[in-house]
Amino acid sequence: MAPRILLARHGQTEWSQLGRHTGRTDIPLLDEGVRGAKLLGERLHRAPWLGLPDVEVRTSPLVRASETCALAGFADRARPWDALMEYDYGAYEGLTTEQIHAQRPGWLLWRDGVPDGETLAQVAARADAVVEWACSAERDALVFAHGHILRAVAARWLGEDVSFGARVKLAPTSLSVLDWAYGKPALGRWNDTGHLE
């Protein structure tokens, strides 16, 4: 069996709802985020997933991801991993894209990076570590993490530059699957929020 990575983005927070860049600030889930995490868990415990009995689970240690993991019913199998923490936005932490554009017109995270935070190369290296870990054994992996780092993981899974993350959106409490097609890494499912409807 070729390993897959199941990506679960954390539930809605106040800052994600407002579009504020939330890197290392530890923001809890809103009630909507708690509800979404429980619905995601219910989905993963029904067919065809059936609780993913053989999956290896990792979570970002930040509360919004680890709480999503726990509410979805995977805390007992999850190990925290710093590689899954969100992008360190440095001086742009807590700002919206509009606020950043007022200071720096035309700014794009995936091209321009951030002052006093992580470089795109550092984010790519963390994403590569996640992909390498996921491919290291004959079992699926389930990770609970954040929008930008999960988009970076998807880019690297596909063999693309990390900047490819700019081209794929990822909603709170979404489920995505990095899979295989014709022996090549592929997107098996992306930004699926059917469990929230």
Q: How many CB atoms lie within 10 A of CB 150?
A: 29
86 catalytic per annotation:
yes
What backbone torsions phi and psi does residue 90 show, to the nearest 5 degrees? 55, -125
Rounded Cα–Cα distance for residues 6 and 48 (Å): 13
- Dump pLDDT digits (tens) for 12-33: 999 999 999 999 999 999 999 9
45 catalytic per annotation:
no
Supply the pLDDT for residue 137.
Answer: 87
pTM (2 d.p.): 0.96
- Provide the pairing of β-strand 141-145 with 78-80: unpaired
- Dump pLDDT digits (tens) for 67-113: 999 999 999 999 999 999 999 999 999 999 999 999 999 999 999 99
Rounded Cα–Cα distance for residues 113 and 108 (Å): 7
One of 21, 56, 67, 86 is an active-site residue; which one? 86
Rounded Cα–Cα distance for residues 114 and 81 (Å): 23
Domains defined along the chain, listed by start:
5-196 (3.40.50.1240)
